[in-house]
Amino acid sequence: MNILLKILTIIVLLTALSEPLTAQQEAVKHRTPGEIVAQSTAQDWRTPAPENTLYVQLPGGTVVLELAPQLAPLHVDNTRKLVRDGVFDNTSFYRVIDGFVAQGGPQGDAPPQVKTGQVTIAAEFTRDTAQHPVDFVPLDAADGYADSVGFVDGFAAARTRDGAQTWAVHCYGALGMGRANESDSGGTELYVVIGHAQRYLDRNTTVFGRVLDGMDVLQKLDRSSALSGAQTVGSSNRIVRIRVGSDLPPEERRPLQVMKTNSDAFRALMMARKNRRGEWFVHAHNHIDVCAVPVPVRLAADTNTQAASE
Amino acid sequence: MNILLKILTIIVLLTALSEPLTAQQEAVKHRTPGEIVAQSTAQDWRTPAPENTLYVQLPGGTVVLELAPQLAPLHVDNTRKLVRDGVFDNTSFYRVIDGFVAQGGPQGDAPPQVKTGQVTIAAEFTRDTAQHPVDFVPLDAADGYADSVGFVDGFAAARTRDGAQTWAVHCYGALGMGRANESDSGGTELYVVIGHAQRYLDRNTTVFGRVLDGMDVLQKLDRSSALSGAQTVGSSNRIVRIRVGSDLPPEERRPLQVMKTNSDAFRALMMARKNRRGEWFVHAHNHIDVCAVPVPVRLAADTNTQAASE
């Protein structure tokens, strides 16, 4: 286009920008997280593939996990096999430390009896996303632990500046794999973050999923506050069984939906959380940490949306 | 001192710095948080003043809080009065949202009957520490929410670059005061952070204490995961009574000690958490967020130190 047209365009744009916002525009701009979720449309949500969900049955209720094969395919595949081998049935959450993690699975001197899975699996501390691209939606906020943070298909994640390596991070509810000193020694030690985000563990263990539903069940487990992480095995900490969602009869699956993290609704949510406004707030930080943006979960056709606390 | 002496001193210092560390020095340098706590001495610990502690008795156990008069004197003074007025006895945690907060106190249309305290109190979102200096021990790590973060007498805190304003921040276990839209409308709505740190609330509410013991009791409360923060009042969420520690017979007080945040042990702990090393760790971040440095709590003459999870 010619220079005159360019100048005209700029003038029009500047005029538009300098116009005061109408009340309606203001309202749209300052929607609360709750309003954004309430105003979202069906296209903003997805239903996790049943084969990527695990149902962890405890005496106190069921915890539903979503696995992240796009970030840790070996761990997802192996855990699914171990679940089908029954390795986690009749085990326990044997290490539950308040504000830290709940860790569970088989214990004892004899290695668990596996049929199709492996007791230990190669570490996946990061994923080679130069070779295996993922849909990384950046959070526009600085992070102390990584070059860049954001979300991959519902999982809080981080990546190197060049995007060549990506990894899921230790937010509240993250599912990780415990291990011994050797990097490739994990395989059966499932853990979930039950307190403040444990970001220092990023890239030291493999995070390969997160809790979609049932954090309240984990929070009721017997626990230790001891520095040593003294092992607490109470009857309430028993793992009755774990099942892959796709192995359950459809009527036993929970109709959970997760907000798409590449949706307009979620982008609006990130912005709203970065600068909370409205009558109540007096200080907007122009910042949010990645673990303070819970990815909303809801029951299909329900407005009782979870994991998006005020 | 003369120039030659200065040069000599510098040479000696440089020589000392360039010496390789002995194995023993390496071991000292790379102590784990657990080792630092285990090797701490009596001088690294303090006993909270009983008048700055609250004992919150629930059906499931007792939560012990420490108040922070150096950061929010009006809230501490007023809450103590309201506790003595019995305002919190036979009330409940009426708003418990998983991963967010547990909020409790009196509810209903009629204002609570107070004798010495006030139902609402002036906001103390920050403290004027130019006028009222505090012992701020900085954490050497960047923060997205504040110019500087660190610790004041055991409380995670932040401050402005000039140090003129300081405030306690919303880490796991922080005690804050809920309020209505007006800044000065809080007074009876006690809340505790029970999940990931809610730093976006910093400077929007008054944080005036933290849980020293009993987070496990709060984690067992009935809760909601609903976006609306639907109020959950179960019989298990009843607050039987709250008492000021100094009003209890000495034998009913818990002999809790808190690591001094201006001690050498705590400075070593901050450094160790910023760069975790040892056989297990493969990635050191050279970073830690202020809420990922729990201030250790222990029972006097006990090695069962709490709040310093691995």
Closest Cα partner for A138 from A152, A125, A126? A152
Q: How far is CA A39 from CA A23, A271, A295, A309, B142, in A?
A: 18, 15, 15, 16, 36
Residue A236: predicted pLDDT: 74
Is A196 in contact with B296 (Cβ distance < 8 A)? no
Pick from A197, A276, A305: CB nearest B196: A197
Q: Which helix (DSSP H) or strand (DSSP E) does residue A75 occupy? A: helix A73-85
How far B237 CA lies from chain A's nearest CA (Å)? 13
Residue A261: closest CA among A73, A129, A70, A55: A70
Beta-ladder partners of B175? B192, B209
Give how far Cα A65 sits from Cα of A298, B87, B210, B211, Å. 14, 42, 31, 30
Q: Which of residues 98-157 of B touch A (CB under 8 A)?
A: 98-100, 125, 141-145
Q: What secondary structure letter does DSSP report for B41? A: -
Facing B288 at nearest CB: one of A200, A223, A309: A200
- Is the ipTM of this structure higher than 0.95? no
Angstrom CA distances, B272 to A42, A277, B18, B236, B286, stand at 47, 37, 22, 39, 10
pLDDT value for A143: 98
- Whether the pLDDT of residue A23 is over 60: the answer is no
Is there a contact between A173 and B99 if contact means CB atoms under 8 Å apart? yes
Q: With bands split at pLDDT 50, 70 and 90, how would you rate the model's confidence at A155?
A: very high
Which of A291, A309, A310 would you mutate first to test chain B, the one with the most B CBs within 10 A?
A309
Q: pLDDT class for B278, splitting at 50, 70, 90?
A: confident
pLDDT bin (cut points 50, 70, 90) of residue A106 is very high
- Tell me: pLDDT of A229 over 60: no
Q: Do A229 and B309 touch (CB under 8 A)?
A: yes
3-class DSSP assignment, residue B61: strand
CB contact under 8 A, B216 and A287: no
In a mutational test of the A interface, the residue from B98, B223, B231 whose CB has the highest number of chain A CBs within 10 Å is: B98
Touching A: B residues 210-249, CB under 8 Å: 213, 215-216, 219-220, 223, 225-229
Plot region of A282 (φ>0 → left; ψ -120 to 50 → alpha; else → beta)? alpha
B292 with A196: Cβ contact below 8 A: yes
Interchain contact A308–B (C-beta under 8 A): yes
Which of B151, B159, B132 shows the shortest CA–CA distance to B270?
B151
Residue B34 to residue A282, Cβ atoms within 8 A: no
Buried b (16+ CB within 10 A) or exposed e, A208-236: bbbbbbbbbbbbbbebbbbbebebbbeee
Please provide the distance, in angstroms rounded to a whole number, between the alpha carbons at the two ends of chain A: 48
Mean pLDDT of B97-106: 95
Closest chain A CA to residue B141: A144
Give the mean model confidence (pLDDT) for residues A223-244.
Answer: 77
Looking at residue B224, what is its pLDDT?
A: 86
Ramachandran angles phi, psi of B15, nearest 5°: -60, -45
B17: Cα separation from own chain's centroid = 36
Task: Give chain B positions within 8 Å (CB) of A169.
Answer: none
Q: Which of B203, B207, B176 is nearest to B189 (CA)?
A: B176
Confidence of residue A16 (pLDDT cuts 50, 70, 90): very low
Average pLDDT over chain B, rounded to an integer: 89
pLDDT band at A308 (very low <50, low <70, confident <90, very high): very low
Asked whether A133 and A156 are in contact (CB, 8 A), the reply is no
Find chain B residues with C-beta within 8 A of A279's C-beta: 181
pLDDT of A310 above 60: no
The pLDDT of residue B230: 58
CB A290 within 8 A of CB A150: yes
CB contact under 8 A, A197 and B200: no
pTM: 0.89
Would you state the structure tokens that stand for residue A61, as one six-digit string?
Answer: 């209720």
A226 pLDDT more than 70: no
Cα distance between residue B263 and residue B267, in whole Å: 6
Best mutation target, B202, B212, B216, B231, to test chain A (most A CBs within 10 A): B216
Determine what percent of chain B is predicted with pLDDT higher than 70.
84
Of residues A283, A287, A288, nearest to B203 (C-beta):
A283
What is the C-alpha separation between B103 and B91, in angstroms, rounded?
11
* Portion 267-286 of A in contact with B at CB < 8 A: 273, 276, 279-283, 285
Chain B neighbors of A34, CB-CB under 8 A:
227-228
Cβ atoms of A175 and A207 closer than 8 Å: yes
CB-CB neighbours of B8 under 10 Å = 12
Cβ contacts of A97 on chain B, cutoff 8 Å: 309-310
**CA A173, B285, A178, A100 torsion-angle sign:** negative
Q: Output A249 or A6, whichever has higher pLDDT.
A: A249
Lowest mean pLDDT among A66-80, B98-112, B223-237: B223-237
| pLDDT higher than 50, residue B41 | yes
Tokens of A274: 């970065």
pLDDT at B23: 52
* Interchain CB distance below 8 Å, A227 and B181: no
Q: Report the DSSP beta bridge partners of residue B158.
A: B149, B167
The reply to whether A72 touches chain B by the CB within 8 Å rule is: no
Place of tokens 């990635």: B283
Q: B225–A294: do the CB atoms touch at under 8 Å?
A: no
Give the residue from chain A lying closest to B211, CA to CA.
A99
Which run of H or E residues covers position A16? helix A3-18
* Overall average pLDDT of the A103-130 stretch: 94
Q: How many CA atoms lie within 13 A of B233 on its CB side?
A: 12
In angstroms, the Cα distances linking B214 to A93, A100, B154 are 20, 15, 17
Inspect the interface and report whether the beta carbons of B171 and A196 lie closer than 8 Å.
yes
DSSP category for residue A22: P
